[in-house]
Structure 1
Amino acid sequence: MNSSSVPWKVLSSNVGVGILTEGWTLDVVYPDFAEPRQFVYEVVFDSPFSAVPVVHLGLTGFDMDRRESSRLTLKAANLTEFGFQAVISTWDVSRLFSVEFHWLAIGA
Structure 2
Amino acid sequence: MQSSPWKVLSSHVSAGVLTEGWQLNTIEDADGDAPRICTFEVPVTFDAPFYAPPVVQLGLTGFDIDQRDSARLTLKAESITSAGFVATITTWAGTRVYGAEFQWLAIGA
Alignment of structure 1 residues 35-46 onto 2, 5 Å:
35-46=36-47
TM-score in terms of structure 2 length: 0.94
RMSD: 0.9
2:28 aligns with 30
Q: Work out the number of aligned pairs and report it.
A: 106
Gaps of 5+ in 1: none
TM-score in terms of structure 1 length: 0.94
2:84 aligns with 83
1:47 aligns with 48
1:16 aligns with 14
One-letter amino acid of the structure 1 residue matched with residue 88 of structure 2: V
Once the 2 structures are TM-superposed, how far is the Cα of residue 35 of structure 1 from its aligned partner?
Answer: 2.6
2:55 counterpart of 1:61: no
1:34/1:93 contact within 8 Å kept: no
CA distance in 1, matches of 2:28, 2:22: 14
1:57/1:101 contact within 8 Å kept: yes
2:90 counterpart of 1:92: no
Q: Percent identity?
A: 55
CA distance in 1, matches of 2:36, 2:78: 19
CA distance in 2, matches of 1:105, 1:23: 26
CA distance in 1, matches of 2:36, 2:95: 11
CA distance in 1, matches of 2:41, 2:3: 35
Provide runs of 4+ in structure 1 moved above 4 Å: none
